[in-house]
Amino acid sequence: MRKLSLIFSILLLISIVLSACGKSAFTNGKSSSFEGNNGYEPVTIRLAYNLPQDHHIAIGIENFAKTVTEKSGGKVKIQVYPSGQLLSDKEMNQAILTGGVEMGVNSSTLWSSTVPAMGIFDVPYVFPNYETAGKALSGELREKLNKAMEEKGAKVLMYADYGYAQFANNVRPLKSPEDFKGLKIRSIGDIPSKMIKAYGASPVFLGGGEVYTALQRKTIDGATSGTTAMLQRHYDEVAKYLTINNYAYLEFILAVNKNFWDRLPEKTKNLLSETAKETEQWIREKAKSEDERTAKELKEKGMEVYVVPESELPKWKKAAKPARDAYIEHAGDLGKELLEVVERINQ
């Protein structure tokens, strides 16, 4: 009898161990309905980004992570790795797609190498104002881009408005496309490079952190970026001229590994989605004011600022047509559809 009892005890112990091992990784072997957790299953999500921590997008992302953790009573923990601590911008997308990190923020420009249609934000003069961008990202354009991203393995949670891209240089005021001739300009992607070439300059690819030194050493004549980054990276110390022509409305994407997302409980998905929506709106409202504030500060710090008159923008747009053609060739039918969507909004 003692032998049978011992065998039964061993079998019971094995059953308990196997049961515990079979629980979801999200619950750490605990029931999803235990008390005191507001119904959320424990999970830790790593979120990486590369922007400076005082950038308005970074501030929004940090607040997103904090809000999710607080609303879940600490059960849904988002560990943030800022300013490239975990991944560089070139490593980010692959890490998200393979599950090397659960969540990350990266530019639409870099995502366009995976989803060519995402390059629409780089097509010159497609988004003439902040309102157009907001409308486009609230409807059909968003839906089509999200679907294309999910087919590649990434769930888009947020479109974070960086603001408009401009030009800084050390040689002369850029008051027309012809003024670019012969200059070496740091580019931010393939489509902007096509535009820079069409304007008669030579595009140079450099990381954001390399631009200051390159301008200082005169290995490049100028660079394109948003004025928020120009101020944070002290372009005013190494570049004399700033041209405001709002040629591209830059976006950063908060994306989640799709397989990871699909395994999350619905309650957690809803929390992440709702908080991302609120954060996206806050970032969008900040983009315009930050563009205006940083351009003003760069002028106050000594940069000579030229704002291209709206009446002259058609000339700049016409000269940039090779960049638009390159986007259509690269993005195919979906790219054409997205351009048509934005053109309808602009009418």
Q: Give the model's confidence band at 258: pLDDT under 50 very low, under 70 low, under 90 confident, else very high.
A: very high
The pTM (predicted TM-score) of the whole model is 0.86
Q: Is 25 a residue whose pLDDT tops 80?
A: no
| Per-residue pLDDT reduced to its tens digit, 130-147 | 999 999 999 999 999 999
Residue 6 in any domain: the answer is: no
Q: Is 4 a residue whose pLDDT tops 80?
A: no
Q: Is 288 a residue whose pLDDT tops 70?
A: yes
Quote the CA–CA distance of 308 and 312 in Å, as a whole number: 7
Q: What percent of the chain has pLDDT over 90?
A: 85
Our CA angle for 141, 146, 149, nearest 5°, is 130
Q: Is 15 a residue whose pLDDT tops 70?
A: no
Residue 13 in any domain: the answer is: no
Quote the CA–CA distance of 332 and 340 in Å, as a whole number: 13
User: What is the per-residue pLDDT for 347?
Assistant: 86
Our CA angle for 273, 283, 229, nearest 5°, is 130
CATH number at residue 226: 3.40.190.170
User: What is the per-residue pLDDT for 207?
Assistant: 81
The encoded tokens of residue 42 equal 């424990």
Residue 9 in any domain: the answer is: no
Look at 313 and 37; give whichever has higher pLDDT: 313
User: What is the per-residue pLDDT for 52?
Assistant: 87
Residue 313 in any domain: the answer is: yes
Look at 218 and 37; give whichever has higher pLDDT: 218
Residue 93 in any domain: the answer is: yes
| Per-residue pLDDT reduced to its tens digit, 319-343 | 999 999 999 999 999 999 999 999 9
Number of domains composing the chain: 1
Q: Which among 60, 74, 121 has a CA at the least distance from the CA of 335? A: 121
Domain range for 305 is 33-346
User: What is the per-residue pLDDT for 209?
Assistant: 82
* pLDDT averaged over every residue in the chain: 90
Q: Is 33 a residue whose pLDDT tops 90?
A: no
User: What is the per-residue pLDDT for 6?
Assistant: 40
Q: Is 175 a residue whose pLDDT tops 60?
A: yes
Q: What is the CA radius of gyration of the chain?
A: 24
Q: What percent of the chain has pLDDT over 70?
A: 89
Residue 90 in any domain: the answer is: yes
* DSSP category for residue 30: S
Quote the CA–CA distance of 279 and 275 in Å, as a whole number: 6
| Per-residue pLDDT reduced to its tens digit, 84-137 | 999 988 899 999 999 999 999 999 999 999 999 999 999 999 999 999 999 999
Which residues on neighbouring strands pair with residue 291, listed in sequence order?
none
Q: Is 22 a residue whose pLDDT tops 70?
A: no
Residue 59 in any domain: the answer is: yes
Residue 12 in any domain: the answer is: no
